[in-house]
Structure 1
Amino acid sequence: MSTQLLRSLPALHREGAYVGITSVCSAHPDVIRAALSLARAMGQPVLIEATCNQVNQDGGYTGMTPSGFRTFVETIADKTGFDRSNLILGGDHLGPNPWKNLPAEQALDKARQMVAAYAEAGFEKIHLDCSMGCKGEPLALDDEATAARAADLCSIAEAHSSTEPVYIIGTEVPVPGGALEEVKHLQVTSPDAALTTVDIHRHAFVARNLQAAFDRVVGLVVQPGVEFGNQNVVGYVPEGAQVLSASLTRMPNLVFEAHSTDYQTLEALSALVRDGFSILKVGPGLTFALREAFYGLDLIAAELDNMTQQLKPAMEALMQAEPGYWANYYPGSPDEQRIQRHYSYSDRIRYYWSHPTAQKAVRELFARLGDRPLPETLISQHLAIAWPEVMAGLTEPNASSLVSSSISRTLRRYATACGRMDL
């Protein structure tokens, strides 16, 4: 069973085994390919998740339904030789969020349709998140309302799933995907708040005859004190989360799920797993690494062809022409916004890579570079972090290998922290 690792995480933590799993939250094919290739080499399961805004019954911003996303990932798995039985698909923040501008019952009806679609597509990990208010409601709902709506959606998942999915409950603060401003202080979830969330959800599930489903709740989303803004990262401070971590002894069948762990160091990620934050979600950090590789290759191609950069100007023109994905998220002067469009930790440029204009620009870059070995000196100059791997023979000095290694480097950090490999 592909979810066996997820189900075993609470027991492993109780036994003192520092084991976790990386949740890859991306729909970029290069990211998914790198994740599957690394997992195949490790002989380990891989968890790939889609969010409610990214993939839903209406297509989301990727244009994919849950069944379409499964086909998309499985096609890449087959091409990379990854065993489908080791693939875990998850749905993140499943609830009314995409439709929260509608009255509650309309938004919840859309959420029910979405959860049914995820369940029918065989997603094995479901994060139920109904914490947000809908039209005419408070911005954030209380625990009772949140839990009642989550139980309602759980009943839909149970009715439409051919397997027995595992569930995640709770939500994090700030909002998923990174904060909009510089982050200076974070409030770690209190143990009382965590315990109350679990208790109220348990009662809501039992009230709907969903005790068996609640027994498959393996994780609680909390705020361990990690976050990233557009230009800064708040690193994990174990001392600040000691009391929260200790509360897991009162929730023996659960671990914590940590969101927004992008850009944390290996030491911080390892400490999170040690402290019971056994599910580590990463998304923008992977496409940030992808963009770094693309832009490094753009500079190498410019040197080789004695031309100016081609990809970066094309992306700038695209984002200026279609500002919807960044304009409300990048404050500051025009120059500050220009820098953030390309280099923000929030990595909102990731929404543009599937655009036909961006895809054409990337294809042209790879056509210019081809499969030829790139000069080590230019790799050292423009992709310096890859140079030691190239010199050691671990990464081929060509464009496709350099992109893959950039993403895999981040994934290996997570795998090491999760006890999945020793690098």
Structure 2
Amino acid sequence: MTALKLTDLGGLYRDGTPCGITSICSAHPIVLRAALRHGRATESTVLIEATCNQVNHLGGYTGMTPAHFADLVFSLAQQEGCTRKQIILGGDHLGPNPWRDLPVNEAMDQACDMISAYVAAGFGKLHLDASMGCAGEPAALDDETTAHRAAQLALRAEETAQTAGLVPPLYIIGTEVPPPGGADHALDEIAPTNAASARKTLQIHYEVLKKAGLSQMLNRIIGLVVQPGVEFGNHNVMTYDASKAGALVQVLNNLDDLVFEAHSTDYQGQGPLSELVRDGFAILKVGPELTFVLREALYALDLIASDLLPDYGDRPLYHEMETVMQSDPENWARHYHGSRAQQRQMRHYSLSDRIRYYWSTPQAQAAVNRLLGALRGQIVPMPLMWQHMPHAAHAADKALEPENILIERVQDSLSTYHAACHSTNATLHNEN
């Protein structure tokens, strides 16, 4: 299979042979390794994105700058035998969000420094998102203000690329996206972006960018972020309903080579994902699902070790994660509500997977390393494997490689996305 380019997507859609690219939004090394191993096996594009809160010029919550993140990805790629030409690095929600409690000038200065660092580190896909208000402003801004701030960011990105002699980046615009990490409440309906609103967003951005002297970048705007009507909360998932998105999909008819970028496509499954690609949502972003299935596999191994090894203890990884999250509730407390029992359940099993913020803590890393060390080389009987990890039955009754079990579990989700991104051609041809 030939690795797709981002610039291929619009033409393929308009030729009636739509394809998609999965955008992996995670900084977890095991998720990254799984993505790169999957890319090597399928010879497909590996699009890996970092967000402004996660990775920025000041370190973000991962402690990584864009250059550090790029080094991590390419180091893992070398280990996994995935070629650099297959890899695209992207920056998501690049704008003032991490500094929105500051006055707008200060926040935008930080955002411009951040996007410059992303470009300098070789990130070739940039989502411009200046839609959030800063100190003293409304929480959400109008299209005109958002577009002017996006132009400020784009100007800095273009200047950085030119000064450094780098290939100029591709851009995603549009800001009607679900809450990062999913919604906090049970969902019953999600309305797709209004078609007129999508056209207005595009028109205003193009006009403002031209007036800002950025006409040269307009043909490098490859996608528009819209809400297709998909979302997940702590407890449930709203899957794609093509019948409700018809007017929005028609917007693509007059947009040359643009496609839609869909956020929060986690947990959709192959059918809805395939329909999204068919309808022009060619960039499918996924993050929490990948760390959710990773946590699922880690907890299953924790149970296996508890049942198999007399000296391991009773689910020590689970209990350590509970202690870590209770000692630092900042990343979950405002999202999980209800009784103490309900909050405890969500800390570990919510679809929003806010436990992902804690895997990089020293305590969590030590607990994971102890688990993997305890199981490495152990013989897990088939009935015990069936009890806790039936999908990994192939690993029973022989020396266990627990890291591979984790990677395979993430790859299962990535395989669903890959199939959806490349299945619509056959579907359309069969329909015709």
* TM norm. shorter chain > 0.5: yes
Aligned residues: CA RMSD: 1.9
Aligned residue for 1:49, secondary structure, equals strand
Q: Is contact 1:147-1:204 (8 Å) kept?
A: yes
Q: 1:383 aligns with which of 386, 389, 397?
A: 389
TM superposition shift of 1:18: 2.4
Q: Flag structure 1 segments of 5+ consecutive residues without an equivalent.
A: none
8 Å CA contact 1:376–1:397 kept in 2: the answer is no
Determine the structure 1 residue equivalent to 2:189: 185
Q: Which residue of 1 aligns with 2:160?
A: 160
Q: 2:324 aligns with which of 291, 300, 318?
A: 318
Distance in 1 separating the partners of 2:283 and 2:106: 32
Deviation of 1:173 after TM superposition, in Å, equals: 3.8
Instruction: Give the AA of the match of 1:384.
Output: P
How far apart, in 2, do the equivalents of 1:310 and 1:183 lie?
33
Matched-pair contact (CA < 8 Å) for 1:171–1:222: yes
User: Structure 2 matches for 1:231-246, cutoff 5 A?
Assistant: 231-246=235-250
Which residue of the partner structure matches residue 421 of structure 2?
Answer: 418
Q: Which amino acid letter does the alignment assign opposite residue 145 of structure 1?
A: T
Shift of residue 314, structure 1, vs aligned partner:
0.8
Residue 344 of structure 1 corresponds to 350
Aligned to 2:375: 369
Distance 1:3 1:266, change over 3 A: closer
8 A Cα contact 2:177 2:225, kept in partner: no
TM-superposed deviation, 1:176: 2.1
Give the aligned partner of residue 403 of structure 2: 400
Mean CA deviation greater in 2-11 or 66-75 = 2-11
CA distance in 1, matches of 2:422, 2:109: 41
8 Å CA contact 1:373, 1:398 repeated in 2: no
Match of 1:34 in 2: 34
SS at structure 1 position matched to 2:341? helix
8 Å CA contact retained: 1:258, 1:280: yes
1:285 aligns with 2:327: no
- Letter of the 1:309 partner, please give it: R
CA distance in 2, matches of 1:72, 1:420: 31
Does residue 228 of structure 2 align to residue 228 of structure 1? no
Aligned partners of 2:377 and 2:400 also within 8 Å: no
1:207-286 alignment runs, 5 A limit: 207-286=211-290
SS at structure 2 position matched to 1:61: coil
Q: Size of the alignment, in residue pairs?
A: 418
Percent identity between matched residues is 50
Give the distance between the partners of 2:103 and 2:417, measured in 1 at CA. Answer: 40
Give how far 1:390 is off.
Answer: 5.1
Q: Secondary structure at the match of 1:60?
A: coil
Give the drift of 1:4: 6.3
1:332 & 1:267 partners in 2: Cα distance? 33
Aligned-partner SS, 2:229: coil
Return structure 1 stretches of 4+ with deviation > 4 angstroms: none
Q: Which secondary structure state, in structure 2, belongs to the residue aligned with residue 278 of structure 1?
A: strand
Q: Deviations over 1:368-392 (max 9, x none)?
A: 10133422222211112333x658x
Give the Cα–Cα distance (whole angstroms) in 1 for the partners of residues 292 and 304 of structure 2.
18
Tell me by how many angstroms 1:240 deviates.
0.8
2:429 aligns with none
Give 1:396 shift: 8.6
Q: Deviations over 1:199-249 (max 9, x none)?
A: 111011111121121110000000000000111111111111111112200
Cα deviation digits, residues 251-284 of structure 1 (max 9, x gap): 1221000000000011000000000000000000
- Counterpart Cα distance in 1 of 2:68 and 2:254: 40
Do the aligned residues in 2 keep the contact of 1:20 with 1:279 (CA within 8 Å)? Answer: yes
The residue number in structure 1 matching 2:149 is 149
Matches within 5 A, 1:18-33: 18-33=18-33
User: Do the aligned residues in 2 keep the contact of 1:131 with 1:171 (CA within 8 Å)?
Assistant: yes
1:104 aligned residue: 104
Give the whole-Å Cα distance in 2 for the aligned partners of 1:4 and 1:320. Answer: 44
- In structure 2, give the amino acid aligned to 1:231: H
In structure 1, the residue matched to 2:175 is 171
Is 2:49–2:90's contact at 8 Å kept on the other side of the alignment? yes
Kept in 2, the 8 Å contact 1:33–1:77? The answer is yes
For 1:192 and 1:239, how far apart are their aligned partners in 2? Answer: 17
Give yes or no for contact 2:181–2:354 (8 Å, CA) kept in 1. Answer: no
Q: Which deviates the most, 158-167 or 271-280?
A: 158-167
Structure 2 length-normalised TM: 0.94
Q: Which runs of 5+ in 2 are unaligned?
A: 427-432
Q: What amino acid is aligned across from residue 53 of structure 1 in structure 2? A: N
- 1:277 maps to a residue whose letter is F
* Distance in 2 between residues matched to 1:216 and 1:173, nearest whole Å: 21
- Do the aligned partners of residues 243 and 386 (structure 1) sit closer, same or farther apart at CA in structure 2, a change above 3 Å counting? farther
| Deviation (angstroms), 1:3 | 9.6
| One-letter amino acid matched to 1:241 | A
Partner SS, residue 138 of structure 1: coil
| Native 8 Å contact 2:261 2:281 kept in 1 | yes
Q: Which residue identity does 1:116 align to in structure 2?
A: S
From the superposition, tell whether residues 88 and 242 of structure 1 become closer, same or farther in structure 2 (CA, over 3 Å). Answer: same
Q: Select between 90-99 and 39-48 the one with higher mean Cα deviation.
A: 39-48
Which SS does the other structure have where 2:257 is aligned? coil
Partner of 1:113: 113
Alpha-carbon shift at residue 59 of structure 1 (Å): 0.2
TM-score by length of 1: 0.96
1:59 equivalent in structure 2: 59
- d(CA) in 1 for partners of 2:101, 2:28: 28
CA contact (8 A) 1:172 1:259 kept: no
Distance 2:199 2:416 in 1: 31
Distance in 2 between the 1:241 and 1:390 partners? 43
Distance 1:251 1:257, change over 3 A: same
